[in-house]
Amino acid sequence: MSENETTIRTEDQPSWAEVVRQTEQGETVAVIAGGEHVADVVPSQELDRLRETVEILSDTDLVRDLRDGLADLNAGRVVSAEQVAEDLRNRVADE
C-alpha cells in the first residue's frame, strides 16, 4: 500500500475533489463512517499493483517456479546472462 495515508470522516462531508487530488499524489485515503473504517480510496496504480500480486499468487505453477528459482539461487545453482544468451543463440541456430 502507499506510504502516505489520510483519514476522512463522512460526517465531516469531505470534498471528494480533495480526496481525488490526494490519491493523484499517491496517497491512500481511509474513509470512516459512523466511527468504522469502511473503505480506502487508493491510487489506481496501487490497485493495479495489488491486482497483479493477487494474480501471480493465484498461479500455483508460477509460485512453485519462483520458489524453485530462489532455492536454486540460494544453493548457488546459477548461470550468467551471457551463458543464457549463448544457449538461446545455439537453440535458434539448431532450428
Q: For residue range 54-79, what is the model confidence (pLDDT) as tens digits?
A: 999 999 999 999 999 999 999 999 99
Kindly state the percentage of the chain with pLDDT values over 90: 76
Q: Alpha helices of the chain — where are they, by DSSP H? A: 16-24, 44-58, 60-74, 81-94
Query: Cα-flanking dihedrals φ and ψ of residue 34, to 5°?
Result: 60, 30
Report the C-alpha gap between 72 and 19 in whole angstroms. 46
Bridging pattern class, strands 28-33 and 5-9: parallel
pTM over 0.85: no
User: Which of 1-5, 8-12, 15-19, 22-26 has the weakest average pLDDT?
Assistant: 1-5
Residue of 7, 12, 48 lying closest to 28 (CA atoms): 7
